[in-house]
Structure 1
């Protein structure tokens, strides 16, 4: 089936890949998570992705993951979409986490390609189908081969789109041609998982974004898409390009996005806390540079034309 219309955004349009706040002692900071989630929603996010890469999911326990979803749900209410990361390298464990996320109050699940084992495409498809059948929640596929070692190939995406609960993709493939192929042949809602692609993917029919930079500039990221929707493509371009230095510093310069986001949130006086090992915190020079770029973005790109 060939689609010529833009897919409806099943999880909202502007989603933030929210960090997981910790206390200075390294414990889960549920109070901080509630405050940060409320701020993100108040400044333009219509959905939050919890327990993803930026949320340090490899180092949080199953119990912490469920507690985070429950706490954020309490903070933002029922009108905000929560997507819970449940992906692991083990299909059975992933299915268990999907059921736990549903019980905790999630509206959908983010499922990454199984990592380390490097499964063949038939096994990749079987994994996602099993997880989609494990709960009643809609599924956002997470294609990030730079971390997992394995693509979800476009033809596999097209096949998976036939499942009624597989509805979206968080695209970190850096394969823009492949993304357009899937967009042209399915109703999958494509979300830019790399902030430098927010406008580009949206312009060819993407549903929105799952933004790491949204942790520190949620209103700005939302404004890029607002301008495009309003037909002001020049303004959308301007806002996207103004954000580029901060995007590069947070995600494109060798620094894990989580590290940059937490360093900048801390400098802004917002809930963050330390990163968990094996990640290391940003040094003072890096956090100074991030703060300067954020200040420049807020000063040079006001959100009123």
Structure 2
């Protein structure tokens, strides 16, 4: 853990909204505290699961401040500042840096479809501009393009403050190549709950989790069993949670994560358009899964 400043179990926190769809600051603080108490080593704020595309910059700042106040230094707070415009990302990151967050997450630029050299130059420019550690985020399913292993490794070697990657490509050969070629101290996190165990078996250090909003203790157990090399027990923990890992993604994230929290008695409001709330059928199916895996 001494070489893992953000630990192994990191949840990408949902963003609570009130009945009017506005940022619910009291609930933000309550959720952040709940996730820390639940065993998270760090929190990612306003990532994909936090509905980053529809939380505008002033609200992002308010959100970061609220989480920092609630967490009060107990675990690191990582702010997602990534955008598909390099200049905007840098400008925003410099403002967020002053709030006292512990690190940044930056996604591969989406929609632009940059080539590998464009990805490298994008992240290089951010790394040169900021002081805080950076977690890269590779998610081709949302960004259209995949950041290849050699680009990730080039960034890891060239910039000391690029310290980790959230890998959600689903390409295990790519994960293996990054782990094999990474400089000392560079961490590979699973960006998909269901891929956590396979990635850790290949040398990954943990997960940036969605299910951690709903069952942080259970996911932490899986991660730490794997970290200890107890893969048989980790496999059992994985198999028990897998229906919920998959069930939360039967429609667009985080629709069902927010519905799961509501079912668990900790409502955090709805989602913002163009996302829509879970249907009654989706809610009923999710409830059955949660009961079957022992979360309800």
- Category of TM-score, reference length = shorter chain: over 0.9
1:119-138 matches, cutoff 5 A: 119-138=114-133
Residues 24-60 of structure 1 show CA distances to partners (whole Å, capped at 9, x for unaligned) of 1000011111111111111111111011000000000
Supply the distance in 2 between the matched residues of 1:16 and 1:126 (Cα, whole angstroms).
Answer: 28
The answer on 1:258 being equivalent to 2:254 is yes
CA contact (8 A) 1:7 1:206 kept: no
User: Which residue of 149, 152, 166 maps to 1:170?
Assistant: 166
**Aligned alpha-carbon RMSD (Å):** 1.6
The residue that corresponds to 1:210 in the other structure is 208
1:51-66 matches, cutoff 5 A: 51-66=46-61
1:30-41 matches, cutoff 5 A: 30-41=25-36
3-state SS in 1 of match to 2:164: strand
CA contact (8 A) 1:95 1:131 kept: yes
The residue that corresponds to 1:282 in the other structure is 278
Question: How far has the Cα of 1:150 moved from its partner?
Answer: 1.3
The residue that corresponds to 1:241 in the other structure is 239
Supply the distance in 1 between the matched residues of 2:228 and 2:182 (Cα, whole angstroms).
Answer: 25
CA contact (8 A) 1:139 1:166 kept: yes
Residues 210-248 of structure 1 show CA distances to partners (whole Å, capped at 9, x for unaligned) of 000111010000000222234432211101011111111
5+ long unaligned stretches in structure 2: none
Supply the distance in 1 between the matched residues of 2:224 and 2:46 (Cα, whole angstroms).
Answer: 27
The answer on 1:14 being equivalent to 2:9 is yes
Supply the distance in 2 between the matched residues of 1:81 and 1:212 (Cα, whole angstroms).
Answer: 17
Question: How far has the Cα of 1:76 moved from its partner?
Answer: 1.1
The residue that corresponds to 1:193 in the other structure is 191
Residues 128-169 of structure 1 show CA distances to partners (whole Å, capped at 9, x for unaligned) of 011112211111000001111111111101110121111100
TM-score (norm 1): 0.92
The residue that corresponds to 1:297 in the other structure is 293
1:96-135 matches, cutoff 5 A: 96-135=91-130
CA contact (8 A) 2:166 2:190 kept: yes
The answer on 1:78 being equivalent to 2:76 is no
CA contact (8 A) 2:36 2:74 kept: no
Supply the distance in 2 between the matched residues of 1:96 and 1:268 (Cα, whole angstroms).
Answer: 39
Residues 80-107 of structure 1 show CA distances to partners (whole Å, capped at 9, x for unaligned) of 0111111111101111221122122211
User: Which residue of 226, 230, 239 maps to 1:232?
Assistant: 230
Supply the distance in 1 between the matched residues of 2:113 and 2:229 (Cα, whole angstroms).
Answer: 43
CA contact (8 A) 1:86 1:94 kept: yes
Supply the distance in 1 between the matched residues of 2:58 and 2:31 (Cα, whole angstroms).
Answer: 20
CA contact (8 A) 1:69 1:105 kept: no
CA contact (8 A) 1:189 1:207 kept: yes
CA contact (8 A) 1:10 1:189 kept: no
5+ long unaligned stretches in structure 1: 1-5, 301-305
